[in-house]
Amino acid sequence: MKAALALALLLLVPTSDRAAAATNDAEHYLDAFVDRSADPRADFFRFAVGKWLNDHPIPATERRWGIAQAVQDDTYARLLRINEEAAAGHAADGSNARKIGDFWRAAMDADAVAAQALHPLDDEFARIDAVASRDQLMAEIARLQRMGANALCNLYIFQDEKHSDRTSLHLYQGGLGLPNRDHYLDNDARATALREAYVEHVARILELLGAARAVARRDAERVMAIETELARASRKLEALRDPEANYNVLEVGELGDLAPAIAWRDYFAAGGLPPLETVVVGQPEFFVQAGKSLQERPIAEWQAYLRWHLAHAYAAQGGGAFEAENFRFFGTVLTGTPEQRPRWKRMLDEEEKVLGDALGQLYVAAHFPPAAKARYEKLADDVVEAFRARLGKLEWMSEPTRRRALVKLDALKKKVGYPDKWKDYAGYDVTPRSFLENVKRGRIWQTDYDIAKLGKPVDRLEWEMTPQTYNAYYMAPNNEIVLPAAAFILPGIDDTEVDDAIVYGYAGGTTIGHEITHGFDDEGRQFDEHGNLASWWAEADDVEFKRRARVVVEQYGSTVAVGELRVNGEATQGENIADLGGIVIAWDAFTKTAQYREGKPIGGFIPAQRFYIGWALGWMMQVRPEALELQVKTDYHSPSFVRVNGPVSNQPEFHDAFGVRPGDRMYRSMSERAKVW
């Protein structure tokens, strides 16, 4: 329960009673985390959570292990109970409980799943084989995209960045089988080996579909050639953080200028889209290349590509040999994980994607009382107040920009716990007989659900995460922070064990602060209080923000993540700025507590020290080297040890708390320190 203990830290709203109770118990839990033999001035991360990490090596079934997984494990146990009860019960036809029960029974019958393999998709493969023209090819691509396959490009329906009250179709780069364009283009030994392994993986999947070995190898090379062309035309991770550059409105008639080979209106219709006037094109140059590749390459090559992408989209759900081969490459080769996770956990993940809100309703009813919701709403308000005070005295910001920033902060909306309105799954037909069929229907249902939003007013009550998710987010078009219920779970832990300093340093303060400042990071600050992409910064402030952000980019960009690989300072700057903001806002809020003022040590640590230990608990995580490399190439978040040591090394209060001095590895001189907020 040591892991579970830490998640209690999220829950607590501090009171002086709790702080008093904590005095007796604090040694007991901090000792499970802190490695007192490590030097906080040399590597604070090791010091603060090294004991726990040593005691909890990464299980063979995991690519990483830490606080988030420990919390997730607890959520899994709760969801398992919900599913087993639903499967054993006799809920009414069409009810959510019945859908959950049927989904679960079909998913857990591993023998039936393996026997069906990808056969529920036979008709789709036959359609691919029958493609005889480029128009048919595009129609087939549209069908596969609707089923969730990443064929050629991405289509998604989302709020329009410059008109947040309406919904637009977005065309985005995509079509790759490896996680990032860099995997196709990097020339180091690891990338080269990964590409070879990938081609072999594609070949093996095609063989499982029935192709002869030589044909499968040849087709896998064709897939690689097409994807490499698409990768070359794709923007880098960091470039995708520029919302202006990703916003190119075109009339549907103009799309022909980008890619004349595509009959765009027919293509949209084949995907079930209504007639459209305009679309937002994320990366026009990508679609120029996609159109050229479609035109120049023989249809037979595209058929191989589509067979692969359809199989790839469903291999993890195909059971037996498909599932094993999919894990061999994407689990073991790509992330270094030796063993598959138990089936029941993987099936919960699958169910989460297609019935997440139905699960969420039952989850919240059982595990998230109204008092918890009220408590966290209050804490969110307090952290907003702390940021308001900080904005009010920020020395580098001019008055006009400050006024606009405060207007945006005033307009910020908070969603806590669970949505006011749940998704209605009436149209999603779940069968107890085929897991793969349920996954396919669920994906089509989701696509159609999004398509139905086109032309209607935006529903701002919607959530992008389910309540049982251990995470949180800021969403620019709604200018809102969203904090799911699972952030507050308390698995059998008495919350009196945890004191204010840890609450503020861990998630209570810093996570909320982090999400709020996303509205003001390099990307979020480009959106106004209505959620529209519109400049509101005075020029001098804009220059000063960028100068300060540059310090962050360079600081993180010079940090080694794994082996020779450094953190991508550009791509991670938004998250890093939010971390730096979250920690200072939470600190401000913490200094208002009685516990801070009294300054009593608990477990041998003064309040300021415990605050920073709390911060480290939030990012307590160890990751396999392969998975860490993948993270650096695909994730906008820095590695967890960087997320701990980076922000604290910029805080004067941290230097004071642990006596960090020139010459210490954690030391940063005043002139080197990053400070945005």
Interface with Zn ion (CB under 5 A): 575, 578
SS3 349: helix
CA dist 323 and 205 (Å) reads 10
Q: Which is nearer to Zn ion, 519 or 614 (CB)?
A: 519
Q: Residue 620 Cβ, how far from Zn ion at the closest point, in Å?
A: 17
- Burial (CB count within 10 angstroms: exposed 0-12, middle 13-18, buried 19+), residue 157: middle
Q: Which is nearer to Zn ion, 100 or 516 (CB)?
A: 516
Q: Which is nearer to Zn ion, 143 or 518 (CB)?
A: 518
Q: Residue 521 Cβ, how far from Zn ion at the closest point, in Å?
A: 8
CA dist 280 and 171 (Å) reads 6
DSSP code of residue 478: G
Q: Residue 278 Cβ, how far from Zn ion at the closest point, in Å?
A: 31
Q: Which is nearer to Zn ion, 283 or 479 (CB)?
A: 479
Q: Which is nearer to Zn ion, 29 or 474 (CB)?
A: 474
Q: Residue 514 Cβ, how far from Zn ion at the closest point, in Å?
A: 6
CA dist 462 and 445 (Å) reads 16
Q: Which is nearer to Zn ion, 131 or 475 (CB)?
A: 475
Q: Do 519 and 585 meet the contact criterion of CB atoms below 8 Å apart?
A: no
Say if strands 413-417 and 473-475 run parallel, antiparallel, or are unpaired: unpaired
Q: Residue 636 Cβ, how far from Zn ion at the closest point, in Å?
A: 8
Q: Which is nearer to Zn ion, 356 or 513 (CB)?
A: 513
Q: Which is nearer to Zn ion, 497 or 575 (CB)?
A: 575
Q: Which is nearer to Zn ion, 294 or 383 (CB)?
A: 383
Q: Residue 640 Cβ, how far from Zn ion at the closest point, in Å?
A: 13
Angle at 189 between CA 183 and CA 191, to 5 degrees: 10
123 Cβ contact list (under 8 Å, min separation 6): none
CA dist 509 and 512 (Å) reads 6
> Among 424, 348, 464, 318, which Cα is nearest to 86's?
348
Q: Do 561 and 628 meet the contact criterion of CB atoms below 8 Å apart?
A: yes
SS3 286: helix
Q: Which is nearer to Zn ion, 302 or 641 (CB)?
A: 641
Q: Residue 481 Cβ, how far from Zn ion at the closest point, in Å?
A: 10
The sign of the CA dihedral 275, 277, 281, 287 is positive
Helix 299-315 × helix 134-146 angle, to 10°: 10
Q: Which is nearer to Zn ion, 271 or 581 (CB)?
A: 581
HEC readout, 502-564 = HHHHCHHHHHHHHHHHHCCCCCHHHECCCCCECCCCCHHHHHHHHHHHHHHHHHHHCCEEECC
Say if strands 621-623 and 64-66 run parallel, antiparallel, or are unpaired: antiparallel
CA dist 204 and 198 (Å) reads 10
CA dist 614 and 508 (Å) reads 10
Q: Residue 575 Cβ, how far from Zn ion at the closest point, in Å?
A: 5
**Element (H or E) spanning 575, and its range?**
helix 573-590
Q: Which is nearer to Zn ion, 207 or 575 (CB)?
A: 575
DSSP code of residue 151: -
Q: Residue 515 Cβ, how far from Zn ion at the closest point, in Å?
A: 7
Residue 70 CB neighbour total at 10 angstroms: 22
Q: Residue 470 Cβ, how far from Zn ion at the closest point, in Å?
A: 14
Q: Do 467 and 363 meet the contact criterion of CB atoms below 8 Å apart?
A: yes
Q: Which is nearer to Zn ion, 331 or 508 (CB)?
A: 508
Angle at 521 between CA 616 and CA 539, to 5 degrees: 145
Q: Residue 637 Cβ, how far from Zn ion at the closest point, in Å?
A: 7
Q: Residue 441 Cβ, how far from Zn ion at the closest point, in Å?
A: 33
